[in-house]
């Protein structure tokens, strides 16, 4: 599989940039607030979420483009700190 991959929730409140088979960035919109999470999938729930985002996304997420993700991230006006 090629990375990065991009998804958004069907509700349009969460956006994902999947950077590898074990890490992703989530942008979340909750009302007027914006949240950014850089996740290194270490726990089982995180690994299941990542697996679903990559291989079983049709029911909960849609594919989006890098431009859609980057545009939203830019509008958040934040820097992402990646986990080590």
In percent, the amount of the chain with pLDDT more than 70 equals 92
pLDDT value for 76: 82
pLDDT value for 26: 95
Backbone angles phi, psi at 49, to 5 degrees: -60, -45
pTM recorded for the entire structure: 0.87
In percent, the amount of the chain with pLDDT more than 90 equals 71
pLDDT in tens, 51-76: 999 998 888 999 999 999 999 988 88
Burial call 42-75: b when 16+ CB within 10 Å, e when fewer: eeeeeeebbeebbeebeeebeebeeeebeeebee
């Amino acid at each position: 599989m090629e990375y990065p991959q991009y998804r958004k929730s069907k509700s349009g409140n969460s956006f994902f940039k999947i950077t590898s088979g074990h890490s992703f960035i989530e942008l979340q919109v909750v009302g007027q607030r914006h949240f950014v999470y850089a996740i290194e999938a270490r726990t089982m729930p995180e690994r299941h979420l990542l697996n679903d985002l990559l291989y079983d996304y049709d029911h909960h997420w849609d594919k989006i483009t890098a431009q859609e993700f980057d545009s939203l991230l830019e509008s958040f006006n934040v820097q992402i700190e990646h986990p080590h």
